[in-house]
Structures are given as structure tokens and as C-alpha cells.
Amino acid sequence: MQSPKTQYGLSYIEIVIVVIILGIVAAAAMPNLSSTDPTKLDNAANEVSSAIQFAQAEAIRTKIPRGINTDATNDRIRVYSLPAATPTYDIYHPIDKKLYDIQLKTDAFIGGVDLVSASFAFTGASSSSTNLDFSAEGIPKVTSAGADYMLSSGTITLSYRGQQRIISIAPMTGRVTVQ
């Protein structure tokens, strides 16, 4: 008589238990992966500094003043043209060909970043502004009541989950640095 063959393998119940354990471990690890996205704030700072640099470069290239408008209430930064006294928001992003309008709250890659403050002080001007213009030569300034005032200090502060990045714009040169 032959003895029955021994079968090796896992039962259905054993496989189900292993899959459940793997699912629990994966679910526990997921919040840790998404809750600390260290690049989101850096990406937002780079996006904002690129917008400032683009406005300056376009002013030099076209010989038409360009600038940025910062709106801390709506967490928004827009690039504009300044052919006359009033800004015209008709500048397009060079890559995606959409209006150059950074919306920090709703953007897929930088959503959730806050525009805490934006302050541009100008020599001889009585108050600060949320707009920063660049002359046809690329010099940071603001035009008010027909007079040009040169930038004396400029900062934009971004925040995300307790961390901050400060974007500084240098007077005269318009050099942008992120700290």
C-alpha cells in the first residue's frame, strides 16, 4: 500500500492573515510618508523666487517694466506688465503658457504653503507696498504718483507646518536669495 503524499504549502487562512498584517503595517506607515513633505516649502520658495527673477529678466529683455504682486490674504503671487501706471496681468509662464499666477493654497505641488507676509520698502516712499516693479534696466523699484522709488528692502515669508523660508530681494541688483 502506498502512503498518502504529503503536500507542502500555505493554507488560504495563512495567506489571508499575512495579507492583513501587511495591510496594517502599510496603513500605519502611510501617514508618516505624507505628513512630513520637506520639499513642499522649498518648491514653493523656488517657484516664488523664479517668478521674481522672470519678471526682472523680462523687464530687461523687453525694455518694458514688469513686476510681481503679492497677495497674502489669498496666498497668491502674480507677474504683471507695467506699460502705463496700472499693472496689466498679461504675462504668461514660459513653460506651461498659462498666466503667471502662483496660487500657493491650490497648486498640486506646493498646496498648503502660506504666504505669511510680503513687504517691500522703498527709499523716499512713505509706505511699503505689496507690489515690486522692475525698471527696463532690471532695477527693483515702485512707481507711485508718477515718481520712481528705489527698493531699500524686500522680503517674502512663506510658511508650511511650522517651518519658514524667507525670500530676500537685494536693492539695486534685484538679486533673489532664499533663507
Whether pTM exceeds 0.75:
yes
The distance of Cα 140 from the centroid of its chain, to the nearest Å, equals 20
pLDDT digits (tens, 9 = 90+) for 67-126: 999 999 999 999 999 887 788 899 999 999 999 999 998 888 899 999 999 999 999 887
What is the CATH architecture assignment of 38-178? 3-Layer(bab) Sandwich (3.55)
Contact 158, 151 (CB under 8 A): no
pLDDT digits (tens, 9 = 90+) for 20-71: 998 888 877 765 444 457 799 999 999 999 999 999 999 999 999 999 999 9
Quickly count: other Cβ atoms within 10 Å of residue 3's Cβ: 5
Domain ranges of the chain: 38-178
The distance of Cα 16 from the centroid of its chain, to the nearest Å, equals 45
Q: Is the pLDDT of residue 4 over 90?
A: no
